[in-house]
Each structure stands twice: as C-alpha cells, then as structure tokens.
Amino acid sequence: MIAPTVNLGYPNAVNFAVENTDADFVLCMNPDASAEPECLAELLAADAAIAGAQIVSADGLVRQAGANPLHPTGISPAGSFGLPREEGSPRETIVVSGACCLLRRATFLALGGFMREFFLYYDDADLGWRARIAGERVVYCPAAVARHGYEFGRRERKMFYLERNRLISVLTNYEARTLALLAPLFILTELGVLAASALQGWFGEKVEAYASVIRLAPAVAAQRRRVQAMRQVADAELAPLFESHLESPFLPRRATAVLGAVTDGYLRLVRSVPSGA
C-alpha cells in the first residue's frame, strides 16, 4: 500500500501510483468496483495502451459503461447504461471507462499521465482521446467484466468538474484548424448546455467552469503544446471514432436528438467546403 499525505483527487492518485511502481501494466479500479475472475487476463490479452472493461451493475445483470461515446463537442456520457450485459470480442474505441481499465505504464507516462489540473471526472475520456492522437490503441473488452456498486447522480460540484474538464480537453486535443471549423457547433452546444444548467439548477457550476478554464489558461496552453507535439494521427482520421448521436438516460432525449441533427448537418456542411477554401 502506498498513500499520499493529501487528497490528490482520482486522476492524480493514479499518477502517483504509476510513478511509484515499475510494473509493466497498472490496473485502475474504483474503490466501489470488483473484477470478475477473468477480467485481468482479458485486459492483458488485449495488448493495448489502454484496455477497458465492461462495467456492470453490482448484480452483474446490466451495463453501466464500456466503450463510451465521444461527441465532437467532447460530451461523453456512460455508454450503454442500463442495457443488458453484452458478449463479444475486443474492439477498438476512443474512450473506455476509468472505473476499471488497464494502462501500459510506459505509454501512460509518455502521454503525460492524467492531466494534473483535473481532480475528478472526464480523465478517462481525455486520456483515451490523447492516446488515439498519439497513435496508440484503446480497446474495449466486453469479456473483461467489473461489477460496480455506483449510484449515478449529480453529486456536489460534479457538473463543474465535468464541464471544466471537457472544455480543457477540447481546447488541448483538437488541431487548430479543427477548432476553427467546429467553433459554430461549439458555440451552439454551449448555449444549449447553459440553458440546461439553468433549468436543472447548476448554472453557477457551469459559469464557474468557464472561469476556471480562464484561470488555468497557462496550464491549458502548455498541455496543448504537449498534446500537439506527440500527435501522430490527424483529426480527420479520428473523426469516425466520434459519435454525433448520443443516447443516455442522463441526457434529455429531445436535446440529444436536436444536437445529433445539428451535428450531422454541420459536419456535412464542413465536409462540403474545399480544404483550400
């Protein structure tokens, strides 16, 4: 057992653990999760920079997360929540759940680990995205199963961390041209999220997320330089891994339908513009 003297938050606790071992692989698992017998063997067999387990309910019957979707605006809800447990072969993805995933230590360190300014939430989405940018494999393994006794809900400051970290990830992981092309879509989405936050009672957290990104501007700029310096795969090549239509019981169905339609239409418009225009 190793333990820091202060609460580092989940991402930096993982960074601390990785820095204090010489193991080839490190298994990340939430304290309220438990692995089924073949979970670790299945994750190791994937031979990936990041291999993610299928996260199921405590009774093992339904999914909580797995190959989580990533929208072009960075929104990334738990994938397939509430659906029956699935079978299948490992498949490549862009985001796996941090509730149970195996990290190749050398690659994790080369990627810079989890961003140190994160404290909770979105660390798994950001890391998977950066790994794919660097040309590394991210694999979801349905046969690797972890049971998770977690109750999803809007915990204190959860929306602040989710929104702040999502914005940081978008600003650091995209190429400059992509940010410019997607700017109208980002603005429309932010207006929608602001409206949702006001209706759902977390408007203050959303505004605080913007303020925090501004305060962290030097760290965000430094992270952007690091990510772009290790880029091996262009955004255009990664585009098929993103999903424009999100389905999650934690997102309003009508709002996600509108977002999906707007995203599809806008991306068609962007693709119709000649690259030299």
Other C-beta atoms within 10 Å of 17: how many?
18
Structure tokens at 256: 């996600």
> What is the mean predicted confidence (pLDDT) over 38-66?
94
Cα 236 to chain centroid distance, Å, stands at 19
Of residues 78, 110, 96, the one with CA closest to residue 39: 96
**Does the structure show a pLDDT above 90 at 153?**
no
Close Cβ partners of 194 (under 8 Å, ≥ 6 residues apart): 203, 206
Helix (H, G, I), strand (E, B) or coil at 51: strand
Q: Output the pLDDT for position 277.
A: 41
- pLDDT value at position 78? 81
Whether 223 shows a pLDDT value over 80: the answer reads yes
| 155 pLDDT above the threshold of 90 | no
Closest by Cα among 8, 113, 98 to 55: 98
For the chain, the average pLDDT equals: 91
Which pLDDT score is estimated for 273? 58
Residue for token pair 């309220």? 32
pLDDT (average), residues 194-211: 94
CATH number of 10-148: 3.90.550.10
| CB distance 125 to 95 below 8 Å | yes
> Is residue 173 pLDDT above 70, yes or no?
yes
Q: If you count them, how many residues does the chain have?
A: 277
Structure tokens at 53: 């387990």
80 and 124 Cβ atoms separated by less than 8 Å: no
Strand ranges in 90-137 using DSSP code E only, listed in sequence order: 91-92, 100-104
Query: Quick one: tokens of 141?
Result: 């393994």
**Structural element, H or E, at residue 88:** none
Confidence of residue 276 (pLDDT cuts 50, 70, 90): very low
Residue 267 and residue 72: Cα distance in Å, rounded? 10
Beta strands 138-148; 100-104: pairing state: unpaired
- What is the reported pLDDT for 262? 84
pLDDT the model gives residue 246:
78
Of 118-122, 250-254, 264-268, give the lowest mean pLDDT range. 250-254
pLDDT band for position 270 (50/70/90)? confident
Nearest residue to 260 via CA among 30, 12, 75: 75
| pLDDT above 80 (res 156) | no
Average of per-residue pLDDT across 25-31:
92
**Beta-carbon count within 10 A of 241 CB:** 18
Which pLDDT belongs to residue 105?
97
- Residue 56 pairs in a beta bridge with 63, 147
Domain(s) labelled CATH 3.90.550.10 in the chain stretch across 10-148
Q: What is the pLDDT of residues 3-15, one digit of tens each?
A: 888 999 999 999 9
Least confident of 105-119, 166-180, 233-247: 233-247
Residues 214-228, buried b or exposed e (16+ Cβ, 10 A)?
A: eebeeebeebbeebe
Helix (H) or strand (E) holding 112, with range, is none
Q: What is the pLDDT of residues 139-152, one digit of tens each?
A: 999 999 999 876 66
pLDDT of residue 66: 87
Rounded CA separation 91/198 (Å):
38
Task: Give me the pLDDT at residue 260, please.
Answer: 83
